Amino acid sequence: MNPITGAAVSTNHLSLKIRTENAPRKRSDVVSFVWCVVVALTMLAMSPGAAVASSDLEVSGASASPWSVELKTRYFFNSHTSYEFGNPFPPNQAPLSRLEFPLDSWWVGGEARRRFSRFSLGLEVLRNVTIETGGAMKDSDWDDENNPNVLTIYSESGCRLEPSYNVRGDMDFNIADQIGLPDWMELRPLAGIRWQRFTLVTHDGLQTYPTGSAEPIPLPGDGIHFEQTYWQYLVGMRSACDLGDFSILPQLKLLFQIDWAYVQGYNEDHHLLRAGNRITTETTRGDAWHSSVGLKWRIARNLDAGIEADYLNIQTTGSHRLTNDMFGLDMNVDNGVRAWSEQRSLSFTLEYSF
């Protein structure tokens, strides 16, 4: 975004003040749905057949330990979280502005899980340890009302990842024996909540004008403070397969998971280089698809090492609010408002069962 003139609203509209109410968040319906799934899984787990059902798959052939603690290191690559919005005034081009924040970084954390005869409960918490992300933050504007499809302003900046978090809680239920699957395979419906918060600060950028209308402008120091939160209410399926009979490694498991989530998103963007206290917020809703595949092998008694690849795609739309106290500006936009994220990661794990 242009720190001098601004691209989000033309200067002839700065005196205009528009107020509308943000759409209410309908989180209660989604929470109720997730809890219904959890209750249903619990009732199945308490069914008469549950007590004699097989417990979690163990590659060693020994009985499963009820508790496990897993240390995890995750690396995000080719990943980003982004948002854009359109022009509320004619010619109503969309997007008017797009910002793409890189997420390539290292994270550490762990997961604790309690296993029962039929079902299990787990909680995973991860935090970033990388400060400077890989790649650059990209800021693009199409603010020429006479040529709305022409990119007029483009900048790239370094990006710091301040304390950020990935948290997931879930419950799954083993149905493999109920549908006649072989002993070496598990199939588990699951339900849970995934919460992500990313806090990023851009710095030391360079703003260019692709149309050649002006010379490049350096953007020294911090430029944008951006915080984005995603609540994801998920349902899905996970599976584990004992590969002992099919592999030269006798104590090896193949892991799969796929899930879909209803998503509620909120992000806040504070443009530090703009005059006044310029803040934009987006409130969005949508969905997410997540899949993963991994391997886990026994390296010592009750100790497993693993590797896992993940892909998460979030797509949401909603409303955009722009405020700037210097200009008395407070307006809402719903034209072309979108927030999305693609997250690719590779995880390395070490799990102890007891």
Q: Is the pLDDT of residue 271 over 70?
A: yes
* Measured distance CA(322)–CA(281) in Å, rounded: 7
Of 25, 59, 135, the closest CA to residue 306 belongs to 59
Residue ranges and CATH numbers for the domains of the chain are 11-353 (2.40.128.90)
Tokens of 163: 């304390």
The pTM for the full model equals 0.83
Which residues, other chains included, contact 332 with Cβ-Cβ below 8 Å and sequence gap of 6+?
18, 19, 20, 22, 319, 320, 321, 322
Range of lowest pLDDT (53-57, 164-168, 239-243, 309-313): 53-57
Report the SS3 class of residue 149.
coil
4 pLDDT exceeds 90? no
Nearest to 136 by CA among 158, 103, 106, 160: 158
Q: What is the pLDDT of residues 84-106, one digit of tens each?
A: 999 999 999 999 999 999 999 99
Average pLDDT score, the chain: 86
